[in-house]
Amino acid sequence: MDADTLSRRQVLLGLGATLTGAGLSAYAQPPSPTSQTAASSMPDDATQGSQAATRARRMEWWHQARFGMFIHIGIYSVIERKEWILQEEAMPLSEYESFVPDYQPAPDAARGWARLAKQSGMHYMVLTAKHHEGFCNFESALTPYNAVAEGPHRDLVREYVSAAREEGLRVGIYYSLMDWHHPDGARCAHDEAARKRFVEYTHGLIRELLTNYGKIDILWYDMPIPLDAQGWESQRMNEMVFALQPDIIVNDRNKLPGDFTTPEQTIGDTNIKRAWESCMTINESWGYERADLNWKDSRTIVRNLIDCSAGGGNYLLNIGPRKDGSVPAASVEVLREVGVWIEANGESIFATDRCTVDSPFYASYTQKGNVLYMHIHFWPGTYIAIGGLTTEVRSVKYLKSGTPVRFEQKDLRVRLVDLPLEAPDFPITTFAIECSSPPTQDQNLVSENRVRLHV
């Protein structure tokens, strides 16, 4: 969701803060760096430049990784009606807080998520350390509203980081700047003293996250409401982040461009040159929603992954575990199917180049070097064809089995022939088409030569 389009929610946010009436006293103040002012946080070209200078190195693994697991879990998981419930239903904070004791992710929950991510062919994870609700899934000296002091009485971020590392996965931390629980979370919009306090609190929590858990690979900011980059002192925020974690990558949701953009519930713009990552839900909900059974099937997920890979982007797929950390069986099943497909066909997804070949409609493509990967979503039977390929094809095989496929190339048309009537792989069958140079396609040539008239 684009933060700039949230005016209704912004209005509600102000209202919510008045309704909550929480005291400030529970929140400790981090040591204030006295020399900092909002003005000093304006984007500074030199720093942006030095972050840009290391970007290619820092992001190399991420570009190859392609596929990650997003995890939304918090007090909202107890209520089972998505993660916006506190705000959307104008729930008083005291009522929301009454659900905290029932928030009990099992001690091995994080290991389960990490194993599932690994089995699904994912290479990194991103966990909600703090969502808009304000509850910290980690130990904090700055607020008692955290998972060690309350609820599970364990540091869920620590468990998550070590589980991800055990599986060899990269570790991402999601952090929502917007905060419905902290009394300054809304007040900061129109009260300079509150803004200063809240910015120090925010920077302080981020500092804890990036200091106490070893190496963190991604900082995934979210929802910069109600301030702008100057108000959040986002430049200073990023400087601190990079001082603590020089190899980290950050997204663009603290109102600075960061290292990558974050299209939501849609495939990124494949024409943009900036790095991008599409985040999407596996059903329609980020936080657990008991009645949302609209699971995407494995074909849709693999297809989305292919489309992201073809466009040079990443795919961050969300699961919303229950309050005990368990993952609904339906999503586990779908992810297992995805994992089995990736196990056999991952070569066509990871570390691929941007792809410009894009027809016919029943297929999509990825490419790497001289190899074009043709992914068939709807198996047409006996033969398939690609129009307008302007590179010479040398060989074709099923990627999964390595079995060669007979083909003919003539008049801007490549036909793969003698295929079985039923698709040999599930949910998508992939061919590896080796060309004499990086594959290119020109559909205009097809029209100009009116090939269809003399086939």
Please state the three-class secondary structure of 299-346 as a single string: HHHHHHHHHHHHCCCEEEEEECCCCCCCCCHHHHHHHHHHHHHHHHHH
Least separation in angstroms between residue 191's CB and ligand GLC is 25
Least separation in angstroms between residue 1's CB and ligand GLC is 4
Check: CB of residue 325 under 8 Å from CB of residue 318.
Answer: no
What is the total residue count of the chain?
A: 455
Rounded CA-CA distance 372/397 in Å is: 11
Q: Kindly tell me which of 316 and 419 has the beta carbon lying closer to ligand GLC.
A: 316
Least separation in angstroms between residue 257's CB and ligand GLC is 17
Q: Kindly tell me which of 83 and 184 has the beta carbon lying closer to ligand GLC.
A: 83
Rounded CA-CA distance 205/201 in Å is: 6
Q: Kindly tell me which of 232 and 379 has the beta carbon lying closer to ligand GLC.
A: 232
Q: Kindly tell me which of 226 and 339 has the beta carbon lying closer to ligand GLC.
A: 226
Q: Kindly tell me which of 131 and 187 has the beta carbon lying closer to ligand GLC.
A: 131
Cβ contacts of 154-160, under 8 Å, gap ≥ 24: 154/107, 156/73, 156/105, 156/110, 156/127, 157/127, 157/129, 157/209, 157/213, 158/212, 158/213, 159/107, 159/109, 159/110, 159/111, 160/71, 160/110, 160/113, 160/114, 160/125, 160/127
Residues near ligand GLC (CB under 6 A) are 1, 83-84, 222, 264, 279, 286
Q: Kindly tell me which of 128 and 366 has the beta carbon lying closer to ligand GLC.
A: 128
Each residue of 143-161: b (16+ CB within 10 Å) or e?
bebbbbebbbebbbbbbbb
Q: Shortest Cβ contact with ligand GLC: which residue?
A: 1
Least separation in angstroms between residue 54's CB and ligand GLC is 26
Q: Kindly tell me which of 227 and 279 has the beta carbon lying closer to ligand GLC.
A: 279
Rounded CA-CA distance 235/257 in Å is: 10
Question: Tokens 């985040």 label which residue?
Answer: 279
Rounded CA-CA distance 275/260 in Å is: 5
Least separation in angstroms between residue 442's CB and ligand GLC is 37
Least separation in angstroms between residue 83's CB and ligand GLC is 5
Q: Kindly tell me which of 120 and 278 has the beta carbon lying closer to ligand GLC.
A: 278
List phi, psi (to 5°) of 221.
Answer: -70, 155
Least separation in angstroms between residue 131's CB and ligand GLC is 6
Least separation in angstroms between residue 286's CB and ligand GLC is 4
